Structure 1
Amino acid sequence: MELRRLADLSDDELAAAYTPEREPWLRVNFVSTVDGAAQGSDGLSGTINNDADKRVFDALRRRADCLVVGAGTLRSEEYDVPALPLVVVSRSADLPPTLADAPRGRILMATVASSDGLAAAREALGEENVLVLGDDEIDLALLKSELGDRGWTEQLCEGGPSLFADMLAAGVVDELCLTIVPMLTGGDAVRIATGADLDVALRPALLLEQDGTLLGRWLVEAQGAG
């Protein structure tokens, strides 16, 4: 695998460099400092990203059929309604307030049958846009399959770290896109995956560089809970 300069790639070439190997395909995108922090001192990933990360971030979103994000990350990062369908992953079925005015059909909820917020989510989003994927725990393999059945075969997840770890433990992640920005933050910031113990092998498929920022594409070879 060679190191390529991000600036040398046109937008079309960049998009082509992230072509999935099969369908459905679930990729997860994160940014991190060199010492492993997935967020800045304010607890937000936006504090540590840069122009190179933003270019790949935008390219991945343009490729994606849908966006999958945990409700906690949506609230803390104060997501606006994106241009592509957004799947909120929440056992409580709690819809973040910044998404409350989204057009019907733009937001889906992935939740569980035991959720106290199930009825309210169905009322807000429409019953066809609420996916009940288990009794008490969300079946993430079923989520990937259900989204594929809707024609959303290129699925992009932007976290958070707990959802990423759960997805890895469930064996549903195909690819990690990781930007490493040239900075150190120290402290006790969270890493890109937190929670479940994991044993996951990755294969590097692409490495881009711009002004000291490294942007890698890692394919999941094998995975399981430790």
Structure 2
Amino acid sequence: MGDPWLRVNFVSTVDGAATGSDGLSKSINDDADARVFDALRARAHCLVVGAGTLRDEEYDVPRVPVVVVSRSADVPPNLREAPSGRVLMATVETSDGLSEARSALGEENVLVLGREEIDFVELKQQLAARGWTEQLCEGGPSLFADLLAAGVVDELCWTVVPRLIGGDGPRIATGAEVDVALRPALLLEQDGTLLGRWLVG
């Protein structure tokens, strides 16, 4: 088993919007981005996704285990009936929803990673200990910023679609202030869509 590798996947418009006017990322993606999305999921051992993104984007239970990141331990309703072990919760000791999450998912599937703030370094290591070294984060923007601040992101796969949205929509990283250097590893173009792979550090 190799070292854990945390890959983050995002799409945005040319003017930096991470969602369309409806607040959803799926309203701005295109065929090229969908192919990247499918390819990254195919190689992932697990998904790491914020609870808000799971609810907003109406996730179904994916092929691989999904780790819900939520300080409130809020299990999205559409994932409550998932087979045991397919949905995990990463949360904190002080969460009001801790007991309910353990009841819904099973105690062994609820990872308590700190008292008031989630320890993302520990999360990455605990997932690797389960054999999930290929870790894929699909957002949202505040979770991405938190992961960057914790220094656990290894790679960003970023699609830029040839559209302008305007408005006050979120960027791909919001919340925690970070300043992280990236190294370009790959840049492709298809029908005006730019498909980039960036390494951290």
1:25 to 2:15 alignment: no
CA distance in 2, matches of 1:46, 1:81: 17
Aligned match of 1:165: 145
Q: Secondary structure at the match of 2:74?
A: coil
Match in the other structure for 1:209: 189
State the partner residue of 2:75.
95
Instruction: Please list, as runs of the form range in 1=range in 2, the aligned pairs for 1:60-209 lying within 5 A after superposition.
Output: 60-209=40-189
SS of residue paired to 1:115: coil
Of 36, 40, 52, the match for 2:20? 40
Matched residues in 1 for 2:101 and 2:168: separation? 35
Query: Which position in structure 2 is the counterpart of 1:12?
Result: none
- Structure 1 consecutive aligned stretches of length 4 or more whose deviation exceeds 2 Å: none
CA distance in 2, matches of 1:46, 1:112: 30
Q: SS state of the match for residue 203, structure 1?
A: strand
Question: What amino acid maps onto 1:202 in structure 2?
Answer: L
Q: 2:24, 2:51 → 1: CA distance?
A: 14
Q: Which of structures 1 and 2 has the bigger CA Rg?
A: 1
Identical-pair percentage: 79
Unaligned runs of 5+ in 1: 1-21, 222-226
Q: Give the 3-state SS of the residue equivalent to 2:172 in structure 1.
A: coil
Distance 2:59 2:17 in 1: 20
Q: Aligned equivalents of 1:99 and 1:125: distance in 2?
A: 9
What value does the CA root-mean-square deviation take over the aligned residues?
0.7
SS in 2 for 1:190: coil
Residue identity opposite 1:48 in structure 2: I
Number of residue pairs the alignment of both structures matches: 200
SS state at 2:68 partner: strand
- Residue 22 of structure 2: SS of its match in structure 1? coil
User: How many angstroms does 1:23 deviate by?
Assistant: 2.2
CA–CA separation in structure 2 for the residues paired with 1:52 and 1:28: 17
**Which whole-Å deviations, capped at 9, do the CAs of 1:75-123 have from their partners, x for residues lacking one?**
1111111010000000110100111111111000000011111111111
Q: Distance in 2 between matches of 1:124 and 1:32?
A: 34
The aligned amino acid for 2:176 is A
Q: Match of 2:198, as an amino acid? A: W
